[in-house]
Homo-oligomer: A and B are copies of this chain.
Amino acid sequence: MSQHRLVNPLVRNIRALKRVALVRQSVRIEEEIKQGMKKPYNEVIDVSRDNPHATGMKPMSFVRQVIASCIYPELIDSDKMPLDVRKRAKTLLECIGGSVGCYSDTIGIPIMRDSVSDFLTRRDEGVPSASGKIFITHGSDHGFGLLLTMLVRGDRSPLVGVLTPVPSQDFGNATLVASGATAVPYYLDGQQGWRLHTEELQRALRSAREVCDPIALYVINPGDPTGHVQSRESMEEIIRFVYEEKLLLFANEDHQDILIGEGCMFISYKKVLAEMGSPFSDAVELASIHSASKGFMGEGGLHGGYLELVNFDPSVQIEFDRLISLLVLPIIGQLALEVMLNPLQPGEPSYEHYQEKWDWAEQLYGSWLTMALNLCVCRFGRLRITHVLVIFQEEEQLPDFFYCSRLLEQTGLCVCPGSDLGLPEGTYHIRLCIMTSVDTMEEVLRRLGKFHKQFMKDFS
């Protein structure tokens, strides 16, 4: 029987990420090293994405102690863990039904929504947050996946469009496409630290209206992978834009606790919206996401996040509740999220562990500085340095994947080709994530510098 008729045409539209091929190349290389094959390097360093634990950053001890104790409750009853860890684990274990093996309610473990809403109210200095408008998710991608399922699946015509920033991670070409939406790119300004210009949004929207029904603007603040932090003025401009154009606003605020750059400060879209007052504050429909996967938690493997809906029509909220009733949420990610939302307070015995957070920030800042200094010394052609992440641009007509694959094979360094981030043909970039230790970053730059000199010699 022919299966061709059975394949969903949307799946065919998913653009395979080149980074996936590179990661598999890495696995192969590591296997060869293990089997004793001689290479000019001892191990692969993968800075192709924000995966800080894989490149030398340490997880927060308190988080891990609490989760380990929930997993293996004998640790709670022994003296193998600090008292506050045991206390926290005991409370959480009661909430989840006594075992991490229990199924979670589809709205999350009982305290979860309240924890998120308390966290948001504190963070936004009193802007109210209702727990009924908060949805626990597997992480940020999942939050947007739910929104998109809600809005775009089915046989709607014309195609639904979402204005999506470039450069940005795989969201634009994967989750969106699979859900049957179209990503309409708007380009961030690489000449100005990857700022977002409202004129560019207007241009993107005009061009979108020729091919689809654009319903939402997707923003990432702080930027990923650019590291750009939006100013309050810029956010107000964006809010006015979505208000006038009757667009939903999807804000990915995943990196809110990690900023590098002078005078940078995180303000949430929700807070800016509330402070702008009427007509914006009660009209603009905002969906905001955050998770324990990014920032100084970096627990990408654990899958805990949330989504908050602001100003959504009550009838939409009812349908969203219905959709949520399908969810089966992993418990461990929720535990990580819970600890993130309710950090240790001064006076608690493990509070000193929070020094780790500052060590983390120091490493990251050091890594950024090392990168900045080294790039100046090495003169790698034209460069773009952003606050958190760096994109390296070459004018030569080099296929970016060819460069990355060769770099990986010869030096064991894995970086991400710019085309994976939506950057247009002819602008060859690589992305490397600086969310790593200073030592690792020095090694990264040593490998990259040596390779690049030879590469330029061989191919120019």
Which residues in A have some Cβ–Cβ distance to B below 8 Å?
Answer: 1-4, 6-12, 14, 16-17, 20, 23-24, 27, 49, 51-54, 59, 61, 64-65, 67-69, 71-72, 75, 80, 96-106, 110, 138-139, 141, 149-157, 170, 174-175, 178, 180, 215, 246, 248, 283, 285, 297-303, 312-313, 315-316, 319, 322-323, 325-326, 328, 330-333
Contact = CB atoms under 8 A, between A and B. Distances in A.
B1 A246 contact: yes
Contact of A6 (B12, B23, B298, B316): B316
B330 A303 contact: yes
Listed from nearest, the 8 A-B pairs whose CB atoms lie closest are: A53-B99, A301-B331, A3-B313, A68-B72, A53-B101, A68-B68, A54-B97, A101-B299
B53 A7 contact: no
Given A2-B313, A332-B330, A333-B330, A178 B323 contact: yes
Contacts of A14: 322-323, 325-326
A60 B106 CA distance: 25
B301 A153 contact: no
Given A178-B323, A315-B3, A333-B330, A8 B154 contact: yes
Contacts of A49: 103
Contact of A11 (B98, B101, B157, B322): B322
A302 B331 contact: yes
B152 A8 contact: yes
Contact of A3 (B4, B105, B316, B332): B316
B141 A154 contact: no
Most buried by B among A1, A17, A312: A1
A178 to B, nearest CB: 6
Most buried by B among A12, A16, A101, A138: A101
A191 B71 CA distance: 42
Contacts of A149: 8, 11, 178
Q: Report the copy number of this chain in the oligomer.
A: 2
Contact of A153 (B51, B175, B180, B328): B180
B102 A301 contact: yes
Contacts of A20: 106, 325
A174 to B, nearest CB: 5
A9 B154 contact: yes
Given A3-B312, A313-B3, A328-B139, A301 B11 contact: no
A24 B105 contact: yes
Nearest to A178: B326
B150 A300 contact: no
B6 A151 contact: yes
Contacts of A315: 3-4, 7
B101 A300 contact: yes
Contacts of A303: 303, 328, 330
B99 A59 contact: yes
B302 A97 contact: no
Contacts of A54: 97-99, 102-103
Contacts of A10: 153-154
Contact of A99 (B24, B101, B156, B301): B301
A326 B141 CA distance: 10
Contacts of A61: 72
A100 B71 CA distance: 13
Nearest to A316: B3
Contacts of A102: 51, 53-54, 300-301
Given A75-B68, A80-B80, A101-B301, A313 B154 contact: no
